[in-house]
Structure 1
Amino acid sequence: MDSITFAPPYELPQWPFVPPPELSAGEAGRHPVVIVGGGLSGLTLACDLASRGIRSVLLDEDDTVGVRGASSRGICYAQKSLEIFARLGIYERIAAKGATWSFGRTFSGDTEVYSFNLRTDSVSVQPPFINLQQFYVEWFLVDRILELGLTDLRWKNRVLEVETQDDGVRLHVETPAGRYALDADHLIDATGANSPIRTQLALPAHASRSTDRWCISDVRFKKPLPVERWTWVDAPFNEGRGVWQHLMADGVWRMDYQMPEDADPAEVSLPEVAAARLREQLGPDVDFEFVWIGPYGYRDHLLERFRHGRIFFIGDAAHVVSPFGARGGNTGIQDAANLAWKLALVLRDEAPATLLDSYDAERRPAAVQNLEVTSRSARFLAPRSPAEHVLRRAVVALAERHPFARGLVNTGRMSVANDYPPSPWQPAGSRTVQNVPLTDAQGRSTSLAALLRPGTHWLGLWHAPDPAQVDAALGAVAGRPIRLVAVGPRADAACGLPGHAAGAAELAHLGLQQPGSLLLVRPDAYRAALLPAATADGLRQALDTALTPAVPSTPAP
């Protein structure tokens, strides 16, 4: 048998357990925000709140990031998530460490039937995707949180029970030094798919488990492969089943192999079995070392509501989708970005508590859409009936000869920023605004994310405003959480506002081709309103609608 080698395991960082003050005080402390769970969504929320000057407590039952013994979990970070990380100050580390890509190929057998380039219509500073092992992103978030200094990170703190109250939530927590209680004005559950908080509250998640089975091999090759996303619908080297290959950081490739439904997880994960799959795909002489091998199945679930009184559910605690298209971790990151600015405004008394209801109104429809998209991918990759098998064979055969059929080959629709449906806060709905590059009046390169970074505020991008309108607009928004800046082909500050130059493609994306138009951008870089001819009254009305709609607040259950 050919020799099989393993790379040394990753050494994950560890942070010390520090006895919380409640242990010595002997009474429950009270905090405006308590986050439970130090994964992607919980850490993103804590970092986003801290970037806006909001303190929080984060409880995690471990003392490290990632999952011990596992190399890769989530690996693909979409443009919207990367734009969020740019605003939070960790994008440069992610870009330097990860593998950037935008091109993908899909094969049936030995024939390429479909390819795509996600970069073609983007004007963002960030690329469509960067692949990076999840623990690195979490690590960078912890470092940034510690740098900002406003988050009480409590490692080795396991939540045993929560009690809902009229004005908050009480948590009972176990630590190596004993048990204590603390009170939260707002509790955020970021504990993942098996949320004990959701279970304790007996909230139905409508879970369903797929019979589809896969095995991951994280591998380092001596001879590099193309830095592209390659997928096979029916790989001849995997008994006619699906295969994925992605490059991650450290020269490690993630190879996903679809297994028979009745596969034994222990058997398919044996090093000699995994090695045989690699040699079948890449030839008997391929030179490689394993980093990690592991089987996985998947399930989906969806909470009926993402807010229950003072408790908010984000990430996998609220929703789980199948892994095709990287719509899991990215959705949790975007949940956190949606909730953070709303919590910050409410805690600063700059918006009413009703604004928090818009979290469920926006993020649950996004989760529903992602569930629908990923379910279609799962059915294409693992047909459940003879008719579905016939349909897939027909689509693949047509795609080899006819361009119209190539878009029907569904190996995963890649994660995108979801549009939001109409709501009392956004009567016309809303869509993301890309992190467009800009140039300031001193000729320095900047971006939309940089303009949003200083704190909790909205951004009014005004194309060549009439100076007569500027004074009235500034008076109309005085004391409101908004900054006005001028944009146009030149960085012109003559109107009394900071000036930033934008190219024609960027202005078109922003909807600001006409002088006098104004785009109101939310703190999470979503469009709030586009005013074709901005006036002080129009700006005031747009802000009032987005922050203080005439709707009742969600009552505590």
Structure 2
Amino acid sequence: MSRSPVAGPVLVAGAGPVGQTAALLLARWGLPVVVLDSRPERDMVGSKSICQQRDVLDVWESVGVGAEVARRGVTWTTARTFHRDTELFSVRFAARGRSPFPPFVNISQCETERLLDERIAAEPLIEVRWGHRVVGIAQEGPADGAGAVALTCATDEGEAVVRGSYLLACSGARCDAVRTALGLSFDGQTFGDQFLICDIRTDLPGWQQERRFYFDPEWNPGRQVLIHPCPDSTFRIDWQVPPGFDLRAEETSGGLDRRIRQVIGDRPYEIVWKSVYRFHSRVVDRMRVGRVLIAGDAAHLVAPFGARGLNSGVLDAENAAWKIAFVARGWAPATLLDSYHDERHAAALENLEVTGATMRFLVPGTEEDAGRRLDVLERAAHDPAARAQVDSGRLAEPF
């Protein structure tokens, strides 16, 4: 088919990894893109999502960054699982086979964003506008043909209206204004327990290619601890902590240092980043509203065990970008965009189901559930069938 003229740029709300990926993929199809982000500039604070999987590396390689992300990342080859201080079992990952990429790499989201920014800066079809917070969305005309999307954005100079042919909303978990403007529900739940993350730089011989998961260790009784290796001798330690946990008080009392030393022993370390957060399990009711598609954390939130958050968001972007391109070019009818909702909403529901099962095992809601988990963990030390029931997070697979 011949190319049809595109009525204005495609708008992408959100300059995180999902929005960055979407912009690069849309530009790869020859479409002009305007990326809008509410922040004044890129904030390189915290490592955030760290585990990027092979199918996502494949998507990033199609826009020129996958190999570099893989080169800079760390791949752990052994997953060790403990109950209290007894190792229950370990799992080794198979060789990568003929794929040029490992099954996943651990790398700071900030580093991934920096590499994607470099590619965006070299792409003349992409314009990034910082300091544009979307406060209103209006759709003009039909869902195909000469229709348009008009975004009202709050900026330092006042309100600005930005028009485009389509909108891919990748504006993150806190984009309530966007979901409200689109008439979307965001049903689900928030888990009560908090989780403390510390990324620390230290020397832990033998741990560089191991992920360690501790159920109910003596040094975090009744809760869990997860340890991941990252580049540059950095390790992420993730503690489940009580609902009333106060990080500032923990630091002041010396409790944070004690927590860290219970894991790494008496060796020097540097805290690179720390944060306290809660897990959410939510999904929008629709991922297409006319000329608007919604992706990533704006559309779905899942517990991070299994690395299904950022990874599923990038696959949202990949699915959306080529479909918007085909409709915008006149190569397919606008009804093609319905398949984006059909496919990616189903993927989100699957991720909610899988991570929900993990959270029920990690944070039992009843005494009966807690007793069942204890039974599984005690049997897993000697019973292979019980080991298969230990759920510390199921790694994502392409939907």
- The two structures have a TM-score, normalised by structure 2, of 0.92
**Which ranges in structure 2 are unaligned for 5 or more consecutive residues?**
1-6, 142-146
- The structure 1 residue matched to 2:332, chosen from 344, 351, 359, is 351
- The structure 2 residue matched to 1:332, chosen from 281, 301, 313, is 313
Classify the secondary structure of the residue corresponding to 2:312.
helix
- The structure 1 residue matched to 2:174, chosen from 183, 194, 209, is 194
- CA shift, 1:168, in A, is 2.5
**Residues 114 and 409 in structure 1, CA contact (< 8 A), matched pair in contact too:** no
- CA shift, 1:335, in A, is 0.3
Does residue 1:143 correspond to 2:124, yes or no? no
Q: Corresponding residue for 1:368?
A: 349
1: CA distance between counterparts of 2:299 and 2:39? 21
Q: Corresponding residue for 1:171?
A: 151
| Mapping for residues 159-238 of structure 1, pairs under 5 Å | 159-166=134-141, 167-195=147-175, 196-224=177-205, 225-238=207-220
Q: Corresponding residue for 1:129?
A: 104
Q: Corresponding residue for 1:84?
A: 59
Q: Corresponding residue for 1:454?
A: none
2: CA distance between counterparts of 1:272 and 1:50? 50
Of the two structures, which has the highest relative contact order with CA contacts closer than 8 Å and spacing of 6 or more? 2
- CA shift, 1:162, in A, is 1.4
What is the aligned length? Answer: 386
Over 6 Å off, 4+ runs? none
Which deviations, in whole Å up to 9, do the C-alpha atoms of 1:151-203 show, x marking residues without a partner? Answer: 11112222232123232321112333443212222111111111121033342
2: CA distance between counterparts of 1:270 and 1:137? 33
Does residue 1:249 correspond to 2:231, yes or no? yes
**Residues 376 and 390 in structure 2, CA contact (< 8 A), matched pair in contact too:** yes
| Mapping for residues 16-415 of structure 1, pairs under 5 Å | 31-65=8-42, 67=43, 70-119=45-94, 123-166=98-141, 167-195=147-175, 196-224=177-205, 225-268=207-250, 272-283=254-265, 285-415=266-396
Which residue identity does 1:244 align to in structure 2? Answer: L
2: CA distance between counterparts of 1:226 and 1:416? 24
Relative to 1, partners in 2 of residues 1:168 and 1:216: Cα closer, same or farther, differing over 3 Å?
same
**Residues 150 and 164 in structure 2, CA contact (< 8 A), matched pair in contact too:** yes
2: CA distance between counterparts of 1:300 and 1:164? 29
Q: Which has the larger Rg?
A: 1
1: CA distance between counterparts of 2:253 and 2:80? 28
Classify the secondary structure of the residue corresponding to 2:52.
strand
* RMSD between superposed Cα atoms in Å: 1.8
**Which ranges in structure 1 are unaligned for 5 or more consecutive residues?**
1-29, 419-557
Which deviations, in whole Å up to 9, do the C-alpha atoms of 1:9-48 show, x marking residues without a partner? Answer: xxxxxxxxxxxxxxxxxxxxx6241011101111110011
**Residues 168 and 185 in structure 1, CA contact (< 8 A), matched pair in contact too:** yes
Which residue identity does 1:293 align to in structure 2? Answer: K
2: CA distance between counterparts of 1:239 and 1:82? 37
Relative to 1, partners in 2 of residues 1:359 and 1:179: Cα closer, same or farther, differing over 3 Å?
same
2: CA distance between counterparts of 1:343 and 1:269? 49
- Of residues 195-204 and 112-121 in structure 1, the stretch that sits farther from structure 2 once superposed is 112-121
Which residue identity does 2:19 align to in structure 1? Answer: G
Between the aligned residues of both structures, percent identity stands at 36
1: CA distance between counterparts of 2:331 and 2:183? 34
**Residues 215 and 268 in structure 1, CA contact (< 8 A), matched pair in contact too:** no
2: CA distance between counterparts of 1:226 and 1:271? 30
Q: Corresponding residue for 1:509?
A: none
1: CA distance between counterparts of 2:67 and 2:182? 40
1: CA distance between counterparts of 2:94 and 2:32? 37
- CA shift, 1:268, in A, is 4.0
1: CA distance between counterparts of 2:208 and 2:162? 51
